[in-house]
Amino acid sequence: MAEQPQAIYLKDYQVPAYLIDTTELRFELADDQTLVHSRLKVRRNPEATSAQAPLELHGHESLELCRLAIDGRELDAADYHREGELLTLARVPERFELSCTTRIHPQTNTALEGLYLSGGMYCTQCEAEGFRRITFYMDRPDVMSVFTTTVEADQARFPVLLSNGNPVASGEKEGRHWVTWEDPFPKPAYLFALVAGDLQHIERPYKTMSGRDVSLRIFAEPKDLDKLDHAMDSLINAMRWDEEVYGREYDLDIYMIVAVDFFNMGAMENKGLNIFNTSCVLASPQTTTDAAYLRVEGVVAHEYFHNWSGNRVTCRDWFQLSLKEGFTVFRDAEFSADINSRTVKRIEDVTLLRTAQFAEDSGPMAHPVRPASYIEISNFYTLTVYEKGAEVVRMLHTLLGAELFRRGSDLYFERHDGQAVTTDDFVCAMEAASGRDLTQFRRWYSQAGTPTLRMADDYDAATQQYRLHVEQQLPQTPDQVEKLPLHIPLALGLLDASGADLALAEGATTQVLELTEQRQTFVFEQIPVHPVPSLLRGFSAPVRLQYPYSRDALVFLMSHDSDGFNRWDAGQRLAVEVIQGLMAQYRQGEALQLDGALVDAYAAVLDDESLDPAMVAKVLSLPSEAYLSELADCIDVEAIHLARQFARTELARLLEAPLQRRYEALAPTGVYAPDADQVARRSLRNLCLSYLVALEAPAHLARARAQYDSCDNMTERQAALSLIAHSGFETDAAAVLEDFYQRYQSETLVVNQWLAVQACDPKPGALTRIKALMQHAAFDLRNPNKVRSLISTFCGINAVNFHDGSGAGYAFLADRIIEMNRLNPQVASRLLTPLTRWRKYDAARQALMQAQLRRILDSGELSRDVYEVVSKSLG
Ligand code: TRP
Ligand code: ZN
> Which atom of ligand 1 is closest in space to residue 267's alpha carbon?
7
Give the closest residue (by CA) to ligand 1 atom 3: 268
Cα 124 to middle of ligand 2, angstroms: 16
Catalytic residue among 152, 269, 303, 325: 303
Nearest ligand atom owner, CA of 330: 2
Nearest ligand atom owner, CA of 379: 1
Ligand 1 first shell, C-beta below 6 A: 125, 127-128, 264-265, 267-269, 302-303, 325, 378, 381
Q: Is 353 helix (H, G, I), strand (E, B) or coil?
A: helix
The span from the CA of 802 to the CA of 806, in Å, is 10
The one-letter amino acid code at 322 reads S
**Backbone region of residue 163 per phi and psi (left: phi > 0; alpha: psi in -120 to 50; beta: other values):** beta
pLDDT of residue 2: 52
- Numbered ranges of CATH 2.60.40.1730 in the chain: 1-104+125-183
Architecture of the structural domain at 313-446: Orthogonal Bundle (1.10)
Question: What does the CA dihedral 120, 122, 127, 133 come to, rounded to 10 degrees?
Answer: 110
Q: Is 409 helix (H, G, I), strand (E, B) or coil?
A: helix
The yes-or-no answer on residue 609 being catalytic is no
CATH fourth-level superfamily of 452-560: Aminopeptidase N, middle-beta domain (2.60.40.1840)
- Numbered ranges of CATH 1.10.390.10 in the chain: 313-446
pLDDT of residue 719: 99
- Angle, CA of 386, 392 and 394, to the nearest 5°: 100
Cα 691 to middle of ligand 1, angstroms: 38
Nearest to 558 by CA among 600, 595, 513: 600
Mean residue pLDDT of the chain comes to 98
List of residues 6+ apart from 574 with CB closer than 8 A: 551, 554, 555, 558, 597, 598, 601
Cα 691 to middle of ligand 2, angstroms: 37
pLDDT of residue 50: 81
Tens-place pLDDT, residues 552-607: 999 999 999 999 999 999 999 999 999 999 999 999 999 999 999 999 999 999 99
Architecture of the structural domain at 745-875: Alpha Horseshoe (1.25)
- 636 burial class (0-12, 13-18, 19+ CB within 10 angstroms)? middle
Cα 127 to middle of ligand 2, angstroms: 10
> Which atom of ligand 1 is closest in space to residue 306's alpha carbon?
15
DSSP structural state of residue 822: H
DSSP structural state of residue 591: P
Give the closest residue (by CA) to ligand 1 atom 7: 268
- Numbered ranges of CATH 1.25.50.10 in the chain: 745-875
Cα atoms in the 13 Å half-sphere on the side-chain side of 20: 28
- Numbered ranges of CATH 2.60.40.1840 in the chain: 452-560
Spans in the chain with pLDDT lower than 50? 1
DSSP structural state of residue 590: P
> Which atom of ligand 1 is closest in space to residue 386's alpha carbon?
4
Contact 874, 857 (CB under 8 A): yes
pLDDT of residue 481: 85
Cα 93 to middle of ligand 2, angstroms: 38
Q: What residues have a C-beta under 5 A from ligand 2, the ion? A: 325, 328
Question: What does the CA dihedral 551, 552, 558, 562 come to, rounded to 10 degrees?
Answer: -130
Return the bridge partners of 391, or none.
none
Integer-rounded Cα Rg, in Å, for the chain is 28
> Which atom of ligand 1 is closest in space to residue 310's alpha carbon?
1
CATH fourth-level superfamily of 1-104+125-183: tricorn interacting facor f3 domain (2.60.40.1730)
